[in-house]
Amino acid sequence: MRVGIDVSPLAQTRAGTARYLRALLARNEYVQLGLPGTSRLATVMRDALWYPLALPREARKHNLDVLHCPTFRAPFFSTPMPLVVTVLDLAVLRHPGMFNQWSRRYSRFAVPRVVEAASAVITISEFTKSEVLELLDVPPRKVHAIPIAVEAPFTADGPRSEGEYVLAVGTLEPRKNLGRVVEAAKRIGAELRVVGAEGWGGVKVDGWVGRVSDEELAALYRGARAVLYPSLYEGFGLPVLEAMACGAPVVTSRGGATEEVAGDAAVLVDPLDVAAIVAGLEEAAARGDELRARGLERPKSFSWERVASETWAIYESVA
């Protein structure tokens, strides 16, 4: 079976989408198809021309049995072979005001058509599966939840960053709730370090470190007095699991995907209430040893090998 996968997202991001794509590529054999470029024009060209026109043509040239697009940016008409699409989250449909005008317009038009064209839809959490079923007209039999996992650098063994600090991880964008993160850290008198790419929405924060390597991020997780991740909306919330794997106490949002991922191994808070976030940080300090022990166990429930095998089984079912 010849499976092609769109690797265009690797030109656009190093965040969760890229982690997901790299993990699939490391564990299965794919024909890789993609359009490079990181400029705004390249992004528009990908959305307007690559996905609806060029990608199906390239897939046909490679005589593929299945085409997999690892985000909902995908062909939105029927393709010459079965199409599998991964929906990482539906934040742009649930909270459109948090995104730029192009993303809002493109997604409103394309996403319903993409999932209709797909033979199978993969989500990375049960929460996102429920969002797909609620917001889009998709038969339940077509949607499969396959939770993702953490990569090799994220373990409790290894160097630790120095200092007494609270760590936040995420692209600088409105849904990461960084304004309340900054305020909560100030109220407890903690140094705040924020790791992630520059994003959109005019989000600026003190303590922004920018992008770092996975090894540097793992060291920051290990050294943190707590990892604070009160995001307003996530399709999974990978930093929650990465932090736990590195032995850091985690404070994250109650409800949605982050609670699903955290289980009973994190402090859960109302992300809209700064006082609740502050109380969560204080609770994490008091329960540090317990949270570390629970957190180290939690990632064992998630496996990239499972992701790869279940994804391949979906290819076989639609081919």
CA distance 319 to 313: 10
The per-residue pLDDT for 13 is 64
Say if CB 226 and CB 278 are below 8 A apart: no
In this structure, the dihedral spanned by the alpha carbons of residues 181, 126, 264 and 167, taken in order and rounded to 10 degrees, is -30
In this structure, the dihedral spanned by the alpha carbons of residues 171, 26, 302 and 243, taken in order and rounded to 10 degrees, is -40
User: SS3 for 2?
Assistant: coil
The per-residue pLDDT for 51 is 92
The per-residue pLDDT for 141 is 97
CA distance 137 to 306: 28
The per-residue pLDDT for 47 is 86
E strand or H helix at 193:
strand 191-195
Other CB atoms within a 10 A radius of the CB of residue 226 amount to 27
CA distance 74 to 110: 8
E strand or H helix at 66:
strand 66-69
Rounded to the nearest 5 degrees, what angle is found at the Cα of 285, between the Cα atoms of 301 and 276? 90
CATH class of 165-301: alpha beta
**Which residues contact residue 156 at a Cβ distance below 8 angstroms, ignoring those fewer than 6 apart?**
222, 245, 246, 247, 296
Other CB atoms within a 10 A radius of the CB of residue 272 amount to 12
- Give start-end residues of each CATH 3.40.50.2000 domain in the chain: 3-149+303-318, 165-301
Retrieve residue 15's tokens. Answer: 């965040």
In this structure, the dihedral spanned by the alpha carbons of residues 267, 174, 242 and 87, taken in order and rounded to 10 degrees, is 110
pLDDT (tens place) for every residue of the chain, 319 residues total = 999 999 988 877 667 788 899 999 999 999 999 887 666 777 788 888 899 999 999 999 999 999 999 999 999 888 899 999 999 999 999 999 888 888 899 999 999 999 999 999 999 999 999 999 999 989 999 999 999 999 989 999 999 999 999 999 999 999 999 999 999 999 999 999 999 988 878 889 989 999 999 999 999 999 999 999 999 999 999 999 999 999 999 999 999 999 999 999 999 999 999 999 999 999 999 999 999 999 999 999 999 999 999 999 999 999 9
The per-residue pLDDT for 14 is 64
β-partners of residue 236 are: none
Biggest CA–CA distance in the chain, Å, is 60
Retrieve residue 277's tokens. Answer: 């976030």
CA distance 118 to 126: 19
Considering only CA atoms, which of 147, 149, 153 is closest in space to residue 246?
Answer: 153
pTM: 0.94
CA atoms within 13 A on the CB side of 294: 16
Retrieve residue 260's tokens. Answer: 């699903």
CATH architecture for the domain at 3-149+303-318? 3-Layer(aba) Sandwich (3.40)
Rounded to the nearest 5 degrees, what angle is found at the Cα of 147, between the Cα atoms of 250 and 317? 180
In this structure, the dihedral spanned by the alpha carbons of residues 279, 281, 283 and 287, taken in order and rounded to 10 degrees, is 180
β-partners of residue 83 are: 67
The per-residue pLDDT for 38 is 64
